[in-house]
Amino acid sequence: MSFRIRVLVLVTLVAVTAVGATAWIVLRQASQQIADSETADRAVIDQVTSELLQYGQTHGTWEGVAGLVSDLGVSTGQRIHLATESGEVVSDTDTLQGVTARKLGTSVTLVDPRPKIELAEVREPFVATDKAVSSYRAGVRFAACMYRAGYNILKIDGALGVPTFQARDGDPAVLKDCYARSAESPRENEFDQRRIAACKEPEVAGEALPICLSQAFTDLISEVAPKPLRVTLGFAGEPRTPLSPAPILAAAAGVAILAFAGTALLSRRVLRPIGSLTEAARRLGRGDLTSRVAVVGSDEVAELGRTFNRMADSLQRGEERQRRLVADVAHELRTPLANLRGYLEALKDGVIEPDPDLFTSLHEEAVLQQRIVNDLQDLALAEAGTLAYHRTVIDMAEVLETTRAAHHAVAESAGVRLMVASPGPAQVHADPDRLRQVLGNLVTNALRATSAGGSVTLSTTVDGTAVVLRVADTGTGIAPASLPHVFDRFWRADSARGRRTGGSGLGLSIARQIVTDHGGTITVASQLGVGTTFTITLPALRT
């Protein structure tokens, strides 16, 4: 079973147990200790709504009501929540006390501080309504302005049930400013006249007229009057008595014991192989590249062990490759350098006479050593990711033709046909010089392996989002056992070939690294006696 599944099963078991214990506690205690406390006492409701109504009618605004709400919450012991009919919260004792707001209770009362106009037995109801609107609107604006300035306002019951407002005290400048702010604009008067005149329609008569004017009064003062508020007292689910801690502690202890036992079993399964991994990592850090861990099972811990073993294998192979590289470089340079030294010492001692052929041979030998050193440097830079590339948009069909022209003379002297097959443009974003270097290495190798009368073909095709290049020859081919080593350093298809006939043995390694740096791949397919094909795949230029 997967380690992940084991953990999931264990956690699920613990969670189910915890949920079951919690449900048992809730069901056991609910019948004895939890009661519904959402409905507040009627006297408390009357007290709260009365003081809120008086505040709204006196101040002409709900600004600053938070202080009153806080005092009422302390005196009544209730959670008080004020909100407009649209749901906008005005004040909440939970918020004022800095605690998380609880779910609202069901005791809801509407507090509407707007006055109701009384038009019974009024001779000129339209004029009376217009005056009442102007009077109340100016009075509320004045009251709100004075309250914001920090002064007290006296509300006086007026005619038709519409109150008036007077300042108990105040700075004359403040009074003057508030009186100025409370004045109505001509635009408001014009709107009032149109709204009240709507009640003069023929269908509005008799008992419907006072109702229409009363609604017009309410509509016209609503813009300045304090908005009606929904007052909610209490909160849902408020327990009257606390839960007994004994069952909770018992359930918690049971869950803790189960979790401890499960953790102990799980840690034993996990920590043992991790300990083995830790010890193997220590040995690996001390240089023992043969260090491995025993892997048992198929879960994630076992996969970690297998990954560690693969990492150790990779490090060991890398170390072996490094040693082989040093040995190969020493082997490649030892003999020619010894030859050069021998000839130079013989010339120095006068054992042999200098002549042009000898100097030509020594120069060619020095050039070959320089080529090996240059190839090693290119390969080292490429593998380190520091080889310089100058990318541009190029057509690989043109690059193939340039490569063919560069090697045409060599191919013609060897009796080999060098051909290019390109049906159309094949654009890539790459370094043209480096790609010519890759193709040059492949073509040089192909010409060496192809006898007179044979052919080497350079071709390119566009396959969706990739440009595919092929260098195919009709040469001797490569044995299947040798194909995995084609791109290894200093590898030669014919071990009998020397450096003069077989190159440095680094060309294909360099070619693979250059292609990889361009985001592409290079592969080889070969058959003895038939020929070899190298295939390069590069990302096509996006248009």
Residue-wise burial string across 422-435, b where 16 or more C-beta atoms lie within 10 A, e elsewhere: beeebbbebbbebb
The residue among 396 and 152 whose pLDDT is bigger is 396
pLDDT attached to residue 431: 92
Q: Reduce the DSSP state of residue 177 to 3 states and report it.
A: helix
pLDDT for 275-307, tens place per residue?
A: 888 888 888 888 888 888 888 777 777 888 888
Mean pLDDT along residues 441-449: 91
Please name every residue paired with 457 in a beta bridge, in sequence order, or none if there are none: 419, 472
Which range is least confidently modeled, 164-168, 230-234, 318-322, 516-520? 318-322
* The pLDDT of residue 193: 76
Cα gap 267→263, rounded to integer Å: 6
Check whether 420 has a pLDDT greater than 90: yes
Is 170 strand, coil or helix?
A: coil
On whether the CB atoms of residues 104 and 89 are closer than 8 A, the answer is no
Q: Given the DSSP bridges, would you call strands 531-539 and 466-473 parallel, antiparallel or unpaired? A: antiparallel
Three-state SS at 53: helix
The pLDDT-based confidence of 535 (bands split at 50, 70, 90) is: very high
- Per domain, the residue ranges of the chain are 42-114, 132-217, 388-539
Q: Identify which of 334, 275, 333, 338 has the alpha carbon closest to the alpha carbon of residue 308.
A: 275
What gap in Å lies between CA 483 and CA 477, rounded to an integer? 10
Residue pair 532/449 in contact by the 8 Å Cβ criterion: yes
Which superfamily is assigned to 388-539 in CATH?
Histidine kinase-like ATPase, C-terminal domain (3.30.565.10)
Q: Return the half-sphere exposure (C-beta side, CA atoms, 13 A cut-off) of residue 240.
A: 11
For the beta carbon of residue 408, count every other beta carbon within 10 angstroms: 11
Whole-number pLDDT of residue 37:
43
Is residue 61 helix, strand or coil? coil
Q: Is the whole-model pTM more than 0.75? A: no
For the chain, the C-alpha Rg in angstroms (whole number) is: 49
Per-residue buried b or exposed e for 2-24, using 16+ beta carbons within 10 Å of the residue's own CB: ebeebeeebeeebeeebeebeee
Question: 125-148 and 186-197 helices cross at what angle (nearest 10)?
Answer: 140
Cβ within 8 Å of residue 396, ≥6 positions away: 422, 426, 427, 428, 435, 460, 467, 469, 538
Structure tokens at 306: 């297998």
Put residue 321 in one of left, alpha, beta given phi > 0 → left and psi -120 to 50 → alpha.
Answer: alpha
What is the model's pLDDT at position 419? Answer: 94
Q: How confident is the model at residue 237 (pLDDT cuts 50, 70, 90)?
A: low
pLDDT at 384: 67
CA-to-CA distance for 490 and 485, rounded, in angstroms?
10
Q: Are 92 and 24 in contact (CB under 8 A)?
A: no
Choice between 408 and 367, residue whose per-residue pLDDT is larger: 408
Distance separating alpha carbons of residues 197 and 176, to the nearest angstrom: 33
Q: Give which of 116, 119, 112, 166 is closest to 140, Cα–Cα.
A: 166
Confidence of residue 210 (pLDDT cuts 50, 70, 90): confident
Q: Which of 45-49, 250-254, 257-261, 471-475 has the highest mean pLDDT?
A: 471-475
Contacts for 256 with CB less than 8 Å, ≥ 6 apart: none
**pLDDT value of position 170:** 78
Q: What is d(CA 382, CA 335) in angstroms, rounded to the nearest whole number?
A: 27
DSSP for 315-347, written as a single string: HHHHHHHHHHHHHHHHHHHHHHHHHHHHHHHHH
Residue-level pLDDT at 430: 93
With a cut of 50, say whether residue 213 has pLDDT above it: yes
Q: How many helices (H) and strands (E) does the chain have?
A: 15, 13
Task: Work out the burial of residue 224: count CB atoms within 10 Å of its CB; fewer than 13 is exposed, 13-18 middle, 19 or more buried.
Answer: buried
User: How far apart are the two ends of the chain, measured CA to CA in Å?
Assistant: 50
Residue for token pair 């040469």: 475
Joined tokens for residue 97: 């006390």
